[in-house]
Structure 1
């Protein structure tokens, strides 16, 4: 599932091609996962003012509308796609110079059209946070730290992969309660998240199964994972432990993480 680095990769790639481009045509192939599709007619012949992402969500901003994409498990946004990607097209956006396809192999994804700012119900995007903001948000909760990190109403953008990687890097058990983590540990966790997400963006995200960037290419950050999907800890060589937290397999080292 695309998280902040993957959504950032896609939005930054698309932005170079369609920002300030006029949307000429929208062709809907499958409408079951499109919400408020009747508003799309108001966007035709408007310029796309911004392509960006808020946490895991990619969005196109027009004068009075936002199109928000929840890419979920298998969703993708690809510019001028190759033939093999057209079979799973949900919506085709034809701009004055380029074509963008919103597609998905499965139908857990969503596209929602809004007439007003759409992100008020979410927590701040992780990239906007300072360390003290991060600590303040998490210390107000009373739940396992991994659950808190993945709660999009608290902080937008962190999912299973980057929660596992950052907690391992900071040497904090994913089951530790947010109220039992020291300020020093929170600073270390913030720095781990910041550095891991920065590198993941440079490597165009992680491809575990279906994720592709806006050019149809796989990411490379999976080659830099230290704990996610691994069998043995890279630091102590002991077997990596796994548990399910909110139906997600969580990888951690019971020896290195405390």
Structure 2
């Protein structure tokens, strides 16, 4: 699943190309339409396919920003503002093209579920192989409560203090630190990949209870998380599976990962171990992490 760095990469590529362009109409795939008709909230959330498509017509994309793992399309039409929120799920991808044939990989061309036809003839395309992503049209962020509960951005000045305070609460203190890090209400945008890397760099066992980590150690851990996230942003993210930026290009952070997905610890040479935490596989070194 794309984490903060991957989503940031999409936004940095998307914003200058999509901003200022007007949506003429929207086409939703038959697959999504059939699923919605059967009562399933497939990709298009909170609206029927017909409502979603008709309501977006003639809105101009004013800006594209990121909040945690979400992409925000800020829309405006005749002074009225709307917010199109996109979550990439596990395999979502955005493309800006003049024709579908310009999308390089067949797997993304095969699984297109939303085409935003732009007034200038271009296409803003959302593809999602496993259909776990979402498109949600809102009046404002407050219309969808989970968005208002997200922690500050890791790079914000108050994010470190927020993390230390939140992780000390009774709700989190007895939970594995790995689970706490991946909770978007404690730290925004840090998932399995970067939590694994930061904990390895700090020598902290992923299952250690958050309440058993000192204040100073938590400060160091938070700063390491921020460092890892920033390194990945600079590397274009990690293309572990189906992540691509809007040009269909992969990131390179996966080549720099020291623990995530590794069979041998790069520090001691011992075989790595893995456990399940919060339904995710956590790789760690028994010798180097305590």
Out of 42, 67, 75, the residue aligned to residue 62 of structure 1 is 75
Q: Return the offset for 1:39.
A: 4.3
Partner of 2:65: 52
Partner of 2:263: 231
Partner of 2:163: 134
Whether 2:203 is the aligned partner of 1:171: answer yes
The answer to whether the Cα contact below 8 Å between 2:24 and 2:57 also exists between their aligned partners in 1 is: yes
Pick which of 216-225 and 146-155 moved more: 146-155
Pick which of 20-29 and 222-231 moved more: 20-29
Whether 2:186 is the aligned partner of 1:154: answer yes
Cα deviation code 1:155-174 (max 9, x no counterpart):
22011101101111111111
Partner of 1:211: 243
Question: Equivalents in 2 of 1:96, 1:17: separation in Å?
Answer: 14
Question: Equivalents in 1 of 2:161, 2:84: separation in Å?
Answer: 32
Question: Equivalents in 1 of 2:177, 2:7: separation in Å?
Answer: 23
The answer to whether the Cα contact below 8 Å between 2:163 and 2:186 also exists between their aligned partners in 1 is: no
Partner of 2:116: 93
Aligned length: 258
TM-score of the superposition, structure 2-length normalised? 0.84
Q: Return the offset for 1:40.
A: 4.2
Out of 121, 125, 150, the residue aligned to residue 149 of structure 2 is 121
Q: Which runs of 5+ in 1 are unaligned?
A: none
Pick which of 174-183 and 128-137 moved more: 128-137
The answer to whether the Cα contact below 8 Å between 1:40 and 1:113 also exists between their aligned partners in 2 is: no
Out of 251, 254, 257, the residue aligned to residue 286 of structure 2 is 254
Q: Residue 148 of structure 2: SS of its match in structure 1?
A: coil
Question: Equivalents in 2 of 1:175, 1:59: separation in Å?
Answer: 34
The answer to whether the Cα contact below 8 Å between 1:20 and 1:50 also exists between their aligned partners in 2 is: yes
Whether 2:149 is the aligned partner of 1:144: answer no
Partner of 1:107: 131
After superposing on structure 2, the runs of 4+ consecutive aligned residues of structure 1 that deviate more than 3 Å are none
The answer to whether the Cα contact below 8 Å between 2:23 and 2:60 also exists between their aligned partners in 1 is: yes
Question: Equivalents in 1 of 2:248, 2:186: separation in Å?
Answer: 31
Q: Which runs of 5+ in 2 are unaligned?
A: 37-41
Partner of 2:8: 8
User: Computing the radius of gyration over CA atoms, which structure comes out larger, 1 or 2?
Assistant: 2
Question: Equivalents in 2 of 1:103, 1:197: separation in Å?
Answer: 25
Q: Residue 15 of structure 1: SS of its match in structure 2?
A: helix
The answer to whether the Cα contact below 8 Å between 2:152 and 2:159 also exists between their aligned partners in 1 is: no
Out of 202, 213, 217, the residue aligned to residue 234 of structure 2 is 202
Question: Equivalents in 2 of 1:67, 1:17: separation in Å?
Answer: 17
Question: Equivalents in 1 of 2:70, 2:159: separation in Å?
Answer: 21
The answer to whether the Cα contact below 8 Å between 2:84 and 2:137 also exists between their aligned partners in 1 is: yes
